[in-house]
């Protein structure tokens, strides 16, 4: 797999896709865990810790490229998404407790019950 020269278009798309991954993981994981009765803290911590694009996505993208289902430009963009989310997830995991506290305060203000472990 070759990593293309980053262009403004690729970097912009990669940043947008990275934001989508972050937000979609939060919106997909948090409600399920919260509705299962895990409370705000475990639901938010799990959501924050799962914000990285998986390596398997690159394998699937590589396969798609081989079968000519997707373009080399998309594979390059996905490679940058993987790099961005990998680096970002390192910091998100390192500071997940502080991020969780801030998000929990916001969610409590809009009506979510703390439940479970509220540290």
Name the residue range of residue 46's domain: 8-109
| 2 is a domain residue | no
- Calpha distance 84→47 (Å, rounded): 17
| 61 is a domain residue | yes
| 115 is a domain residue | no
| 87 is a domain residue | yes
In the chain, alpha helices (H): 8-35, 40-49, 55-66, 72-94, 96-109
Of the candidates 59, 58, 42, 39, the one whose C-alpha atom is nearest the C-alpha of residue 50 is: 42
Q: Report the number of distinct structural domains present in the chain.
A: 1
| 118 is a domain residue | no
pLDDT tens-digit readout, 21-68: 999 999 999 999 999 999 999 999 999 999 999 999 999 999 999 999
pLDDT of residue 94: 96
């Amino acid at each position: 797999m070759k990593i293309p020269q980053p262009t403004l278009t690729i970097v912009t798309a990669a940043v947008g896709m990275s934001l989508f991954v972050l937000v979609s993981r939060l919106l997909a994981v948090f409600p399920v865990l919260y509705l299962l009765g895990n409370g705000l803290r475990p639901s938010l911590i799990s959501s924050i810790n799962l914000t990285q694009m998986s390596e398997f996505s690159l394998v699937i993208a590589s396969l798609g490229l081989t079968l000519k289902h997707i373009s080399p430009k998309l594979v390059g963009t996905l490679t940058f998404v993987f790099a961005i989310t990998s680096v970002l997830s390192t910091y998100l995991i390192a500071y997940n407790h502080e991020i969780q506290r801030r998000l929990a305060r916001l969610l409590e203000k809009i009506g979510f019950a703390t439940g479970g472990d509220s540290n």
